[in-house]
A and B are shown apart, each in its own frame.
Chain A
Amino acid sequence: MRRKTFWKFVGPSIFLMVLFIALPLCGVFWQSFFLSVPVVEAVEVETCTPGFPSQVCTTVTKSQAVLDEFGRPVENTTFVGLELYRSVVNPEAVREAFASRNPGAILRVDFWRALRFTLTFTFVTLPFVLGLGLAIALAVNNSTQRLRGPVIFVSLLPYIITPVIGGISIYWLFVGDGIVTQLIEGLLDRNVSVMTRGWAVEALMMFYRVWHIAPFAFVIFYAGLQGVNRDTVESAMIDGASRFERLRYVIVPHLMPLIVFVTLIHLMDSYRVFEEIVAFNAQSQRISLQWLTYDFLQPDDSGNRAIGRAAAASMLTMIGIVIIIFPVLRRAWRDHRA
């Protein structure tokens, strides 16, 4: 392709990526070093509210935002360096936890609790997604032509469902006297409350993610399997290679670039785990880094939100993603050059 044609095709995409991804990212990065504090004054306010039989009026000293001449709250924005990162990560609590030889105590800090769950979630689901995806792909590849269509359709179903909807339907199977809970109760002959066990909720969320994403891995691997060299497989068979040996030495090496690709996508996706927390109502038991950012952004009852800390938390999430995908990216780069 000529250079000019190349830029004509790629240019608009790069422009949009800069506009909608790179610039906002820089904005968030910038924001994470600044704190906007509204100016508040203490005033005596008389408030009259309904009562029985008649109104109650109380006068209290209240803190109230100062408004400028346009009726907007006055804010002081100051550069605070890493202060917001510090209040998210809470290094004092970490130091204290290690000094008192009780490292588990850092899980009292939301960030570390979220990081613990996010990492477990990411790395536990990864092998299952790869393994299950490959297994389905091999099964479909070896099934007869007539069955293939329906099998592919059924295996793709979980991937088609909107994540939150799929999550909620599994949640309903287990919450309260859900169908599955009743089954378990019948088997064990005692009352079971799945949602009161942190580990059970965590396991359910992981199960859901594997169930949801495995079809994606399956489609990619299945496409890859179509390109396996028949001659190599046949000569391996003549050499007396068992089924497993053919898989280990012929098929997997052939699929390796695709395995790296699926790993990369899955690491990035699952490090941003969020829908599961919402769908499984899991915030009392488990939170993720993305949930933490969302929670900072959510205004509380009086309309306050911690935008600075949300910016810091989302930068930390991004740094985390870069760290975990770095080894995979390096591998992909080496393969590419080789």
Chain B
Amino acid sequence: MRRLLAVAALAALLLSGCGIPDDTRVTVVGAGPSGGAGPREDQIQSVPNPREAASDPRQLLTYFLEAAAGDPDHAAERVKAFLAPSARAGFEAAGPEIRVIRLKGDPVYRPSNQQFTFYAQTVGTLKSNGSLEPAAADPNGSAQYSVEVGPVAGQSGYFVLRPPPHRVLLLSDTALNDFYQRRTIYFWNNENTALIPDLRYMPGSIPSAQQPTTILNWLVTGPASWLGDVAKPLPNNTQAPENVPAVTNDTLSVTLTPQAAPAGDTKALDRLRRQLQWSLLRPDQGPQTLELKIKGQDPVRYSGQDYLVSNPADRLVETPQRFAIFNGVVHRVKSPQAGDPVPALRPEDNKNIASAALSTSATHTFVAVVTAGKNGKLRVGSAAAGAQATLHDVGLSGTLGRPVWAIAADGGPQGAVGLITVNGKLYSFAPDGSAAVQVDWQGEPGAITAVSVAPDGCRMAVVAGGRLYRATLDTSGDTVALSTPERLFPPLFSQVTAVAWSSETYLAVAGASADGQRYAVVDVSVDGALSYVRLADVGGEAVTYLTAYPANPTSHRENADAESYETAGAAWYVTSVPAKIPASDLVGVPANPPPGQTPTAPFFLF
């Protein structure tokens, strides 16, 4: 019996010895994954100068006004690094938002109290999502800032001894230009018919490999506030849970949470990928394939350039068809299509015209003309491509401005919306000649003198009361609605007279310069912060009308090649110097035109 017990105990002991061990030795399974071996360099575009680099107080001030540029999360730290230790404790930024200012004149340095004093215009607020919101306050009088700069005992270099009392992060507009890249991201409009561009500022300190992730996060947080009425954010609670990995295999891989596109909704998925492709890819460089992973769904790869059609701005051609009016008749300006007739306009209608607008969709051409004379009339019509339109009178009376076609939708003869100013008010009209409807304008900005609609059909720039505004146009309802306009503060101008879209992100603006005597044509970013002077001085005559054929976004040019303006009854090209459009440039104009008659009202076929 004891032997039996012993055997049973032995068996139990053996059995208890087996099972999963408590601890084992380290077992090498295999070599680790390869790839990414050795450090690689990624050029960081541009980083603001550190405090230590400043060699004199003025340079330090310049650098101080650059310091906020870069990653918005650490902007306050960078600014703090400029402050003297005694000032750091009391400094608290009001948030990650940065006030962009434009200096008026050089700062004045008073060595006696080590103080800089300068005036600056507030351009807007750079949000952490990269969008710049124009300042809401009326900055007629520029604010005064004073900064104390000097050395600190025991430490090398200069410090900001006392920061400006406003306790905000300041950024000069030049720093905005130097240390940020302008990137356009896209959102669908409410009808899901077109992508709306949204200008963002990408800090130059973000390595290019991390930029897609940043862009994706911008997309997830939604469009800029001024586009909120017309641009659709990604579906609620959509998140980008992962970084966008470095490009491998010519592919950019994007991961989104399941809310981004419900499983099975192929249309939503297709829209999403087009939005992402427009926002992340460039058709001529970088990765060409997008891999879209939505959690819970199989990843899909998209390559090719079929996405380009989703942005109406992609229809913009390299060489636009230009027209001008000579002696009441619409003529082509010389171009490769010089032999073609003026589209859609019947020859018998092509007379006594003061201004005109032409727009094409895939199937139709839309015409709007304003007849000359004291009682000018607006006549509109549409025709299938290649056919000629019957014009209908739109019952409008008063001083008619220049008509523009805001939208030329594909699919039918009625899918277009036009805008025109009548007696300083804005009216919308349809191609069937039905009665024009006044578009409500909130606030009392004064008489509207110029209107321009971006190729996307939603964003518009308006000149009213000599000021520049931007707004969005909502055509989805029965009537055309205008959002509350935001005033832009472009540099140089004391008064704005004309505006046109120069690209997706820039406006061509004409107006009187600061002294109010000379006029200039300047391209201004859509938020008014940055400027690019096209013509610094076009003379003392007021620029009454400006038109431009925007640059195609795939060309990455931010400014239009083709811009024309009208001043004192004559049409001019915008080139390096002002150049009058000669009658000889027009097709079908006799070789010796009667004197006193010049081409007027230049326009483009959109």
| A-B interaction | no
Contact surface of B with A, Cβ cutoff 8 Å: none
Contact surface of A with B, Cβ cutoff 8 Å: none
